[in-house]
Amino acid sequence: MQSGADRDLYFECEACKASLVVDTAAAGMILTCQHCGQPTKVPASSIASPFAGKEIELLGQLKENESQRTEITGYVNQLHIQLHRWQLRLQTLNDRNAELKAELAELGSIAASS
Ligand SMILES: [Zn+2]
């Protein structure tokens, strides 16, 4: 019985030393590193760091975390902009409210004195 992990080949990018994983079918091929974009040679067998699998799993979780952070930050920024627009609108309405009340008060004092 062969698990999926047995078919994974762990190695480091020759340029940036990032931990990479490919299917063993890619052994000996030149691939483009997903981290630095440089071409790097896939070794014939894993360099077998016992932590490579865990590291790649954590890197995957980190990537997912960062993509969610980007998404939520986008929502927060959008709402900040929307909030700012509503605050400006409210300020305009408050100003107009004060003007209208002042006009009413003026009319009232004219009526009282005539
Ligand atoms: Zn690299």
CA 93 to chain centroid, in Å, comes to 36
Amino acid at 53: G
With respect to residue 96, please indicate whether it lies within any of the assigned structural domains: no
pLDDT digits (tens, 9 = 90+) for 72-83: 999 999 999 999
Number of neighbours of residue 72 by Cβ within 10 angstroms: 10
CA–centroid distance, 19 to ligand 1, in Å, is 8
Selection from 18, 24, 28, 19 nearest residue 6 by Cα:
24
Q: CA separation (Å) from 36 to 9, 33, 102?
A: 19, 6, 66
The number of folded domains in the chain is 1
Q: What's the alpha-carbon Rg for the chain, to the nearest Å?
A: 32
pLDDT digits (tens, 9 = 90+) for 29-63: 999 998 999 999 998 877 766 566 777 788 889 99
Please give all residues whose CB falls under 5 A of ion ligand 1, grouped by chain where several chains appear.
Answer: 13, 15-16, 18, 33, 35-36
With respect to residue 104, please indicate whether it lies within any of the assigned structural domains: no
CA–centroid distance, 70 to ligand 1, in Å, is 23
With respect to residue 25, please indicate whether it lies within any of the assigned structural domains: yes
The domain of 43 spans 1-49
With respect to residue 9, please indicate whether it lies within any of the assigned structural domains: yes
